[in-house]
Amino acid sequence: MFGIAIGLVTANAAEWAFHKYITHGLGQNKGSFWSFHWFDHHRNVRKFAGRDPDYETPLTKWNGQTKEAAALLGASLAIAPLFPIAPFFVGTMIYSAFDYYRTHKRAHLDPAWAREHVPWHYDHHMGPNQDANWCVTRPWMDNWMGTREPYAHTELEARAEAKRARRAVAA
């Protein structure tokens, strides 16, 4: 049963590192497979105030959502052979991959839900620094690594919303 705790911490660390170094690090290179994250997902989320229309399409369409699901499935399959040795750890890692996908999809279909239930991820996209707040499911590694920068429910967000409202009235 100790494998469950180790699996939860490992999954959160992997989520943080993968997001920071792969989907942002490699993803900022237009020739990279991971470029969809920066050039499609982040662009969509900023353009549509937290929503990403890719999550409204079926998994049969090859887009950012499908690539994310394929990467999570690949990671789950890669760790599956360890199941006979560490069943609780592997089970928790596979559960965490599913939870990541479910949480990330819901966050980008319902930004108001994300702001309330996963504000660290909302902050990653809607805050001024998109190179912070790397976690999606739980903020553990962001807190531990010092990369958590709150934005939702702060004075900074209130000022940004007021500025957007003034621009909308002026337009």
- Cα angle, residue 21 at apex, residues 32 and 35 outer, rounded to 5°: 25
- Give the mean pLDDT of 84-92: 98
Contact 126, 48 (CB under 8 A): no
Kindly state the average pLDDT of the residues 129-141.
Answer: 97
CA atoms within 13 A on the CB side of 77: 6
Q: Which residues contact 54 (CB under 8 A, 6 or more apart)?
A: 40, 41, 44, 63, 64, 65, 108
CA distances from 73 to 48, 82, 91, 107, 116 (A): 27, 15, 13, 20, 28
41 vs 130: CA distance, rounded Å: 12
Mean pLDDT, range 114-130, rounded to an integer: 96
Mean pLDDT of the chain: 95
Question: pLDDT for 18-43, tens place per residue?
Answer: 999 999 999 999 999 999 999 999 99
**Model pTM?**
0.92
Residue 119 has pLDDT above 80, yes or no: yes
> Residue 137's pLDDT band (boundaries 50, 70, 90)?
very high
